[in-house]
Amino acid sequence: MLSRYDLSVGELALALREMVLEEAPAAIERLVQVYALVFWYSLSGKMSDAFVQVVIYTKGVNLMFNRGAELDDPHGVLVGEGKIIRHIKVRTPEDLKNPYLRKFIRAALKNAKAIEKEKKLAGRATKPTARASSKSREK
């Protein structure tokens, strides 16, 4: 699938992919072709739980954070004005040296783990309590 893109764009994409896998080795990786070629990563394997994506366009790559608006960004590094999604543009090999790439991958992973933990706690709290078996009620 990467063969459709310029070699330089493919190399950027693979370098970002490697960076994500280094920072989030437990993440489940999926590849999908939509409006762009997208590697997405989640802890559950569900796209709705994805925390980071490597989005490949013909002229470059974006490192996209699905809940980027929730991440602390005092230096205004993240691009985007929507309610949730933010990204960092990667257009040259020099851009790969940006220390914010790894910083935000780690922050997004931490946020995803916190959300996963909240979901699990909420799931336990809403499960019905077990009813006593008929044998224990007869006693």
Residue pLDDT, tens place only, 37-93: 999 999 999 999 999 999 999 999 999 999 999 999 999 999 999 999 999 999 999
Tokens 């336990």 appear where?
124
Q: From the CB of residue 11, how many other CB atoms can be counted at a distance below 10 Å? A: 15
pLDDT of residue 124: 57
Residue pLDDT, tens place only, 12-22: 999 999 999 99
9, 34, 61 from 92: Cα distances, Å: 8, 23, 9
Cα–Cα distance measured from residue 95 to residue 77, given in angstroms and rounded to the nearest whole number: 12
Cα–Cα distance measured from residue 93 to residue 77, given in angstroms and rounded to the nearest whole number: 18
Tokens 């230096």 appear where?
75
Inter-residue contact 88 to 78 (CB < 8 Å)? yes
The pTM for the full model equals 0.85
Backbone angles phi, psi at 33, to 5 degrees: -105, 115
